[in-house]
Structure 1
Amino acid sequence: MCADHHNRLHAIALRLQSGKPHYDLLAGEPAGHATKLLELATNVYNAWSATKGDPNKPALVMLRLTGQQKSMIEKLKKVYPKCRSRESILNLALENLYRRNFGAS
Structure 2
Amino acid sequence: MRSSSPYRSGARSPVEPIALVLLALLAGPGQAAAQTSAAACSGCHAPTMEGAVPNLAGRPAQDIVAAMAAFRSGEREATVMDRIAKGYSDEEIRAIADWYAQSGAKP
> Relative contact order: is structure 1 or structure 2 higher (C-alpha 8 Å, sep ≥ 6)?
2
User: Counting helix residues as a fraction of each chain, which structure ranks higher?
Assistant: 1
Same fold at TM > 0.5: no
Structure 1 length-normalised TM: 0.25
TM-score between the two structures when normalised by the length of structure 2: 0.25
Tell which structure's C-alpha radius of gyration is larger: 1
